[in-house]
Amino acid sequence: MSKTALRTDADFEAFYERHWKYVYRLCLTYLKNRADAEDCTEDVFVKVLVGDFSFEDETHERKWITLASINLCKDKLKSYTQKKVVFLEDGDMPETAAIEPEDHSDVLAAVIDLPPKLKDVVWLYYYEGYSTDEVAALLKRPPSTVRNQLKDARNLLKSVLGGDFR
């Protein structure tokens, strides 16, 4: 199989067009905020642009970009907990932007609220269509762990939403 490299602007542009919607949707699922999802999406593509990557095929691209997106989102979420709170004096309050309501189904909202380890396996298995063995390889976990985490996630979703999830 020949490897593809992103050597020209046209190569990168084609790569971007193939993946930007997917990366944005994945980042939005993790970060729950449009502005942060846009920033993280941009960071993923900057990482590709400045790196010297070559991919075996579009499947390899998709797997790499999935892991890169998830890792950048997790890093961003970690940085939120490490930020210091700065108290402003009266009159120094910045204007707040209107919050746009998100249109999520109950199931998607419940999936988004799952603990990160469970959310990762549910997203990759149900939303991206990877097999448990592929999810295990992507996340560097044993396949039995992935299957147990899917079972735990289904039980958690069942308790939150009611119904049967398989």
Query: For the chain, which residues make up each domain, given as ranges?
Result: 4-82, 106-161
Q: Is the pTM of this model over 0.85?
A: no
What's the pLDDT score for residue 41? 93
What's the pLDDT score for residue 29? 86
Distance CA 116, CA 156 (A): 13
Residue 90 Cα distances to 76, 93, 97, angstroms: 29, 7, 19
Pick among 1.10.10.10, 3.30.420.40, 3.40.50.410, 3.40.30.10: CATH of 106-161: 1.10.10.10
Beta strands in 8-64 (DSSP E): 54-55
Over its C-alpha atoms, the chain yields an Rg (Å, rounded) of 18
Low-confidence ranges of the chain (pLDDT < 70): 1-7, 80-105, 163-166
Distance CA 4, CA 1 (A): 10
Q: Please give the backbone phi and psi of residue 94, each rounded to the nearest 5 degrees, phi first.
A: -70, 155
Would you say 61 and 19 are in contact if contact means Cβ atoms under 8 Å apart? Answer: yes
What's the pLDDT score for residue 14? 87
CA 156 to chain centre: 20
* pLDDT tens-digit series, residues 3-47: 556 667 888 888 889 999 999 999 988 888 888 899 999 999 888
Distance CA 92, CA 87 (A): 9
Q: What is the dihedral of CA 150, 64, 107, 101, to 10 degrees?
A: 150
Architecture of domain 4-82: Orthogonal Bundle (1.10)
What's the pLDDT score for residue 81? 60
Distance CA 99, CA 93 (A): 17
Q: Which of 137, 151, 146 is nearest to 59 (CA)?
A: 137
